[in-house]
Amino acid sequence: MAKKDPMECPHCGKGIYIEFTENKIVNGNNEVGDNYILLLSGFCPFCKNPIVLMKKGELIENYQLDTSIKDYLWGQETIYPKFLSKDKLSEYIPNDYQKEYNDVKIIKDINPKASACLCRYLLQKILHEELKINKGNLHKELEELESIQKIPSELCEMLQILRKVTNSGAHPNLDKKTCEIIETEPGEIEIMLEILKQLFDFVFVKPKMYEKAKLEWNEKYGIKIDK
Ligand SMILES: [Zn+2]
């Protein structure tokens, strides 16, 4: 059975009415007290991307109507896409960085240690490969990053917050080999994710957007900026 529900497309963010195909699975013989899941799948009419939702609930007695059973909904979650459009990273960020960043978010609540480990690895990768900061120790490298004159002030602030959370570099988390971690501090992964996002912006997105703007100025107004 198809039903149209108003919603915001998790891919493109547009308000849509979508014709979902419904698939109900009841755990039992369709009796009062049985749990059920309802899978809704369809495509966004604008961006054409697939959307899958899952509703879950319980069958309860229906006193208002003559049908004896009705659905009692517990909740609904988006199965696909995993990330909402507002969380999507810029297309200017290389795919391997995007994938690893999303992996950190996926495993964040399931395995915080592995997530923190991957986060530190990503931080070092971008420091070593993109910014050529190599000090053999993440703490020293982040200090070096902070001392670069042209880094945005928000990034600088986040680096200071990370230092406070991880206890002024005495913290074993930021020592030598990034994956030799014992524990993660509350909020540490979120702060590192924010730092990563700002680094992506600083290293990949801003320079590309500036390049694009320069091309446009040249095409539209004949203004040429070298360097
Ligand atoms: Zn869409």
**Residues 160 and 142 sit within 8 Å (Cβ to Cβ):** no
pLDDT for residue 60: 85
**Residues 119 and 196 sit within 8 Å (Cβ to Cβ):** yes
Domain that holds residue 29: 2-82
Distance from the alpha carbon of residue 8 to the mean position of ligand 1, in angstroms: 8
Query: Average pLDDT for residues 183-188, to the nearest whole number?
Result: 79
Largest CA distance in the chain: 78
Query: What DSSP character marks residue 106?
Result: H
Distance from the alpha carbon of residue 92 to the mean position of ligand 1, in angstroms: 20
**Residues 46 and 13 sit within 8 Å (Cβ to Cβ):** no
Query: Among 169, 159, 101, which residue's Cα sits nearest to residue 137?
Result: 169
Distance from the alpha carbon of residue 96 to the mean position of ligand 1, in angstroms: 24
Q: Considering the domain boundaries, does residue 107 fall inside one?
A: yes
103 shares its domain with 61: no
Distance from the alpha carbon of residue 11 to the mean position of ligand 1, in angstroms: 5
Query: Per the structure block, which two tokens stand in for 211?
Result: 């390049």
Distance from the alpha carbon of residue 42 to the mean position of ligand 1, in angstroms: 11
CB-based contacts of 208, cutoff 8 Å, min separation 6: 92
Residue 2 has pLDDT above 60, yes or no: no
Number of domain units in the chain: 2
Burial of 183 (0-12, 13-18, 19+ CB in 10 A): exposed
User: For 151-184, what is each residue's pLDDT tens digit?
Assistant: 888 888 888 888 777 764 444 445 445 455 557 7
76 shares its domain with 96: no
User: For 4-61, what is each residue's pLDDT tens digit?
Assistant: 667 888 888 788 888 899 999 999 988 888 999 999 999 999 889 999 999 999 988 8
98 shares its domain with 49: no
33 shares its domain with 95: no
**Dist. CA 33–CA 57, nearest whole Å:** 10
User: For 82-120, what is each residue's pLDDT tens digit?
Assistant: 776 667 788 899 999 988 988 888 788 778 888 888 888
Boundary residue ending a domain (51, 82, 113): 82
68 shares its domain with 108: no
119 shares its domain with 210: yes
Distance from the alpha carbon of residue 180 to the mean position of ligand 1, in angstroms: 42
Compute the CA torsion angle 203, 209, 215, 219 (nearest 10 deg).
-170
Q: Considering the domain boundaries, does residue 227 fall inside one?
A: no
